[in-house]
Chain A
Amino acid sequence: MTEYNFAYLDEATKRMLRRAILKAVAIPGYQVPFSSREMPMPYGWGTGGVQVTAACLLPEDTLKVIDQGADDTTNAVSIRKFFARVAGVATTEATATASVIQTRHRIPETPLTEGQILVFQVPIPEPLRFLEPRETETRTMHALEDYGLMQVRLYEDIAKHGEIARAYAYPVRVEGRYIMDPSPIPKFDNPKLDNSPALQLFGAGRECRIYALPPYTRVESLDFDDYPFTASKAAGQVCAICGAEDSYLDEVITDDAGGRMFVCSDTDYCATRVAAQAEDAA
């Protein structure tokens, strides 16, 4: 592919992105405005993640792309093919062998290691957006660490439902300072954000924001002393394919008589376990 620069974006644009990423790494959890570009896929389909990935990729990198935890969902396939085409990098489905992983809505089950970069696609980067629609207001609230509104909101959930009624995009506090939206990952994944050896980058293209969690950053899910955070998933179920008890499960409807089964959302984790079991059996 000679028509486009390595990883699609021109070098000046990549430099702009890297500056924003460096600033984001320097101020964990702070949303850095950046001049997002139109990408050849629509806004809302991962353009922020794609730009961050493009800025991070080196020719020797190995890229993994997942959507809903799976490598073979259509948008993951599309983004992986995009980079295979415009950057010519190696791609993989194995979490352990990837150097850059772009994800939508999940963190892989296999623990990440030092040197890996996890790039999240973010639809609405502002955790306070649904409490206050104005950007001018929410920026001020972050600057003043004025997070009372969020605490009140969570308290109201408990008063009404007996618990914090947030299942995904569960807000976190970074290094005791900024409240951050972890992107729409299920709250089951929130503990993986904390003290991760990998660099975690978040890109929101349409909203022109990049933010970051450097390796080994303290990330706490918001809660109350008497209502501590719990990472939940389908209760009492194991994966019907690999038998895993510790992974996040998707519910699959199997017939029209209410039949259903639960399978790992992380397809690489599931396949790796199945392969290991087959080896053990042999």
Chain B
Amino acid sequence: MYVAVKGGERAIENAHAWLDDARRGDRDVPDLMLDQIREQLTLAVDRVMAEGALYDPDLAALALKQARGDVIEAVFLIRAFRTTLPRFGTSEPVDTGAMQIIRRISATYKDAPGGQVLGPTFDYTHRLLDFSLAQSPDIAAAPEAEISTSSVPHILSHLDAEGLMQRENAGGGPDVPDLTRAPLEFPADRSLRLQALTRGDEGFLLSLAYSTQRGYGRNHAFVGELRIGHVRVSAFLPELGFEIEFAEIMITECESVNQFQGSKTEPAQFTRGYGLVFGQSERKAISMALVDRALRARELGEDMAGAPAQDEEFVLSHCDNIQSSGFLEHIKLPHYVDFQAELELIRKLRRSAMSEAAE
């Protein structure tokens, strides 16, 4: 006679042991060290920090190793760790104008104060496999220039000075809502939207941004400025009575420039989409700026033709890859009680349909 399957506990333990074994792979190959991941898979580390919403390259490297390189699984590990950390307070707004730039480009001006800095980009590489990398060649140090200490003003500030750029609300301060401390409710204000987008899935935002370019909520965007570099993070400590700097982080910032036809109350001007992401992640930052701008359609009184990227509930409810992958993958769990109920229902409906047909 059939005996109900027992031993879930042992099965889980054995599965975990197999996972550990498979993660290590061939023991003749040296174990991957965290500093190798941190130094040589930097952009993967950056993505894990951005979507994990925790700036810590060492932990992100550990998460990548533990996740066997599965980025979403690594993001999940970081989020689950992040949630246990106490929250001390709110930092002062980061001054991205004072960024130590490693890359800064504008698609709207040929040159501007501060210049165009290409930095370490794939942009103009030919995508030919470099077989020499397989041999671990010595790589010469890149040529260096003098460190510039002058701050590099934002490109859009020049448009701003001319009054051509829509003014942003000042915002900021300790009253900024926190996505991780209050449930997301709709309509969400822009700062909440930006919080959700900056930790949202890169692939999802990329597709949404692309859809706006192809006409689903079209609003042509120029990359007014894209800048990557280090900024200082500081906090005001009431006990001390002054601000202290406590971290230096690398971020990517993108400001898009979009035309706005004007409305009854405002003359035609340019508007801004904004993207800000931990680490070096310009694909994500540009995507975020385009989606941010698309989500401003209602506020700006633009045509809402039902484009997904303009739909706040659609975008914000589905951009988090930890939520989406969790719910998607939960259908692997047993559902046999529900399925049994469905089975009975279908049999019953079929029985009554058959007997009606027979009559």
Which residues of A line the B interface, CB within 8 A? 4, 8, 10, 33-40, 42-45, 47, 67-70, 72-78, 81, 104-106, 123, 134-136, 161-163, 165-169, 184-188, 206, 208, 232-235, 240-241, 248-252, 254, 261, 263, 265, 267
Minimum CB–CB distance from A40 to chain B (whole Å) comes to: 4
Q: Is the interface of A mostly helix, strand, loop or mixed?
A: loop
Other-chain residue from A67, A72, A240, A261 in contact with B7 (beta carbon distance below 8 A): A72
Are B8 and A76 within 8 A (Cβ)? yes
Are A254 and B2 within 8 A (Cβ)? yes
Residue of A nearest to B327 (CB): A44
Are B79 and A38 within 8 A (Cβ)? yes
CB contacts (< 8 Å) of A8 on chain B: these are: 84
CB contacts (< 8 Å) of B349 on chain A: these are: 161-163, 165
Q: How far is the CA of A45 from the CA of B333 in the complex (A)?
A: 8
Are A105 and B8 within 8 A (Cβ)? no
Residue of B nearest to A254 (CB): B2
Other-chain residue from B180, B182, B326 in contact with A43 (beta carbon distance below 8 A): B326
Are A168 and B337 within 8 A (Cβ)? yes
CB contacts (< 8 Å) of B86 on chain A: these are: 10
Q: How far is the CA of A135 from the CA of B348 in the complex (A)?
A: 34
9 tightest A-B CB contacts, nearest first: A44-B330, A43-B326, A42-B326, A167-B341, A208-B183, A44-B327, A186-B341, A33-B183, A38-B79
Residue of A nearest to B2 (CB): A254
Are A74 and B337 within 8 A (Cβ)? no
Q: Which of A8, A40, A249 has its CB near the most chain B CB atoms (within 10 A)?
A: A40
Residue of B nearest to A133 (CB): B313
Minimum CB–CB distance from A76 to chain B (whole Å) comes to: 7
Are A106 and B7 within 8 A (Cβ)? no
Are A263 and B333 within 8 A (Cβ)? no
Q: With contacts A167-B342, A206-B323 known, is A248 near B337, CB below 8 A?
A: yes
CB contacts under 8 Å to A, within B1-22, are 1-2, 4, 6-9, 11-12
Q: With contacts A77-B9, A234-B340 known, is A35 near B329, CB below 8 A?
A: no
Are A188 and B341 within 8 A (Cβ)? yes
Minimum CB–CB distance from B206 to chain A (whole Å) comes to: 22
